[in-house]
Structure 1
């Protein structure tokens, strides 16, 4: 699965620490593979297969812990995987992924990642600090491009809705509504955005891990069935009180009813 792919990054995580010896970058774009990959949020930027470059789904990312375990999200399904690193060679082991049905375009992307990222891959890091990029290349030349991203704050971020939750069940957005719904919380206690069809605004008071939404005002357009279905689901979350959790660049909101949503910060970091 695509998930395993990201795991590859893990490999590098088990590599040597950064230093000033041979192979180190100087901040001028020199490629280096001695930088630690653990503790970094790597956003998947694109996948190149057979010379064709495809932009990754919003929210696609991988993180590597100090134990050499990779986990992340390809924009739909979550994954975990073990990897082995030998120098700049990454060997991907068995992975575990969720089995959520995704939009057709996202499923194609995940399948392409799964086919490309297997066996041995070459890892290369360029740049310094928050501007680092990671490239994983298969023997045939296909590759995945990733970039380090800073954490996203709750307020001021245009959170793009990527999934829905009902109790313990997660699901993708209704077909054709991907990328249409978003919300931005203001430092002044306001909230605004789009429900996938109608735009909205209102009040949102943050206290601890809870957001209390006031009545929302929205436009009154009638839209196709999938958009209206998404709107109903989101309104069930953005009413009264909801708990929130941020994991680096991913936001989860859960209402007292058990209805919830997952959202991601823009991949460009803005």
Structure 2
């Protein structure tokens, strides 16, 4: 990224760049540059550490002497320099918007004032802490994972190719999803689009993109917006993931598209995924990893009930989601007592308390984080041994005469096993759906329904589709190992292999 370009929250005129020293806290081997930092605590006017407003995230990016980000309402910029663990930040400048939500402007002003009070810093395991001249902590940030996958992004603004950066037309919905198969898909407002992409450490290349060929008359200008949007993102060279947003830029750092996380899809991901706990708050200010030899899980159902194993007992209870807010409980559980491993009952009690204390959630890639007003309560990772909660991509299938063959080039077959007992996906030309039942390693799939399109290219795609659906209906068992799903018939012969 060009050193004069702001990242996640938009470009603004920065103060002059000051040559800076080493940005590594001695002994840690971690740097403040190359990350997007999200504020999770700041010192209020009474000298106590407070959690920032969930609805007004504050971010910081450090780029060789230039600091910038979002103050919760406005974008800001400043120059900074470091020497060892010492840091000085010049008074920031910012844009001049007003945000009416209660507390946002006061929080922003306090944050910008605190930046000027910073005298030292430390970085450890993805946490950036800033201290004042007395050594007291005044700001604390956590690094935001720079991942594109696993999130559905909704367009908030784009470059129109003529007049600059514009907002999305009212009444239109433009989306983007970056798949693990290096395919980008979404809605351009009228038509669906798709094509390859590659991304690595902040750089990205998109296209060539193709789309369906419908024409939409309403709202006025939707087709012009679609054309400009698709043209803009295919010139993208850089990307930054911020607090609930994604920015695409060209090689000169000019903004091309700004997306925000679809909270509806985040809720869908929450409820479509089997989660396994990795760490939890002890209730005394510390966070511990899950005890070795225990499995703590959570399944957030579409019926508004969460259930799982707390390590010894099974638990259950209601939950509600509104945007990125969550309320869990009251929780009930079975009443067993487990003596092994040592500490399992204490972990169970702390875990259930942490769940009930959570008020916000965030999904980044395969990680789910639950928080109270500011501190992390529980972290989960996607349970990769689960059939549900992921899209499976077919890599090979039985040809019906005893052999297993690879997919035709330039074809894509998928399967998503929903918690509702429905398997859906693309069979290469058409979309399909069927009922299924899975228990332990047993899998049974009913007769599939499908759309009725006919595809001529590539040669053989319709035969491949027929063989795939026939094999799916013959499913009898399955196994998942190292991210690969293998489906077998009643004799144990391989029918389908997915990744």
What TM-score do you get using the length of structure 2 for normalisation? 0.34
| Other-structure match for 2:52 | 53
Could you list the per-position Cα deviations for residues 154-208 of structure 1 after superposition, in whole angstroms to 9, with x for gaps in the alignment?
x65533434333446435668999xx8641033364512695xx9x743234498
| Other-structure match for 1:184 | 177
Classify 1:248/1:134 alpha carbon distance in 2 versus 1 (closer, same or farther; 3 Å). same
| Other-structure match for 2:235 | 243
Whole-Å Cα distance in 1 between the matches of residues 66 and 56 of structure 2?
Answer: 22
| Other-structure match for 2:33 | 39
Classify 1:108/1:217 alpha carbon distance in 2 versus 1 (closer, same or farther; 3 Å). farther
Aligned: 1:252 with 2:243? no
Classify 1:19/1:87 alpha carbon distance in 2 versus 1 (closer, same or farther; 3 Å). closer
Aligned-CA RMSD value: 5.2
Aligned: 1:80 with 2:77? yes
| Other-structure match for 1:134 | 128
Classify 1:127/1:152 alpha carbon distance in 2 versus 1 (closer, same or farther; 3 Å). same
Whole-Å Cα distance in 2 between the matches of residues 259 and 83 of structure 1?
Answer: 24
Please point out which of 107, 116, 130 is paired with 1:112.
107
SS of 2:118's partner is strand
Aligned: 1:213 with 2:209? yes
Please point out which of 58, 61, 64 is paired with 1:63.
61
SS of 2:108's partner is helix
Whole-Å Cα distance in 1 between the matches of residues 213 and 105 of structure 2?
Answer: 37
Could you list the per-position Cα deviations for residues 24-71 of structure 1 after superposition, in whole angstroms to 9, with x for gaps in the alignment?
6xxxxxxxxxx654323133244654646312656x5322233x2223
Q: Structure 1, unaligned stretches of length 5 or more? A: 25-34, 223-227
Whole-Å Cα distance in 1 between the matches of residues 155 and 93 of structure 2?
Answer: 24
Cα contact 1:79–1:97 (8 A) shared by 2? yes
Classify 1:252/1:110 alpha carbon distance in 2 versus 1 (closer, same or farther; 3 Å). farther
Whole-Å Cα distance in 2 between the matches of residues 84 and 122 of structure 1?
Answer: 10
Aligned: 1:202 with 2:229? no
Please point out which of 147, 152, 155 is paired with 1:158.
152
Cα contact 2:41–2:141 (8 A) shared by 1? no
Cα contact 1:84–1:91 (8 A) shared by 2? yes
Residue 120 of structure 1 deviates from its aligned partner by 0.9
Classify 1:214/1:91 alpha carbon distance in 2 versus 1 (closer, same or farther; 3 Å). same
Q: How many residues align?
A: 226
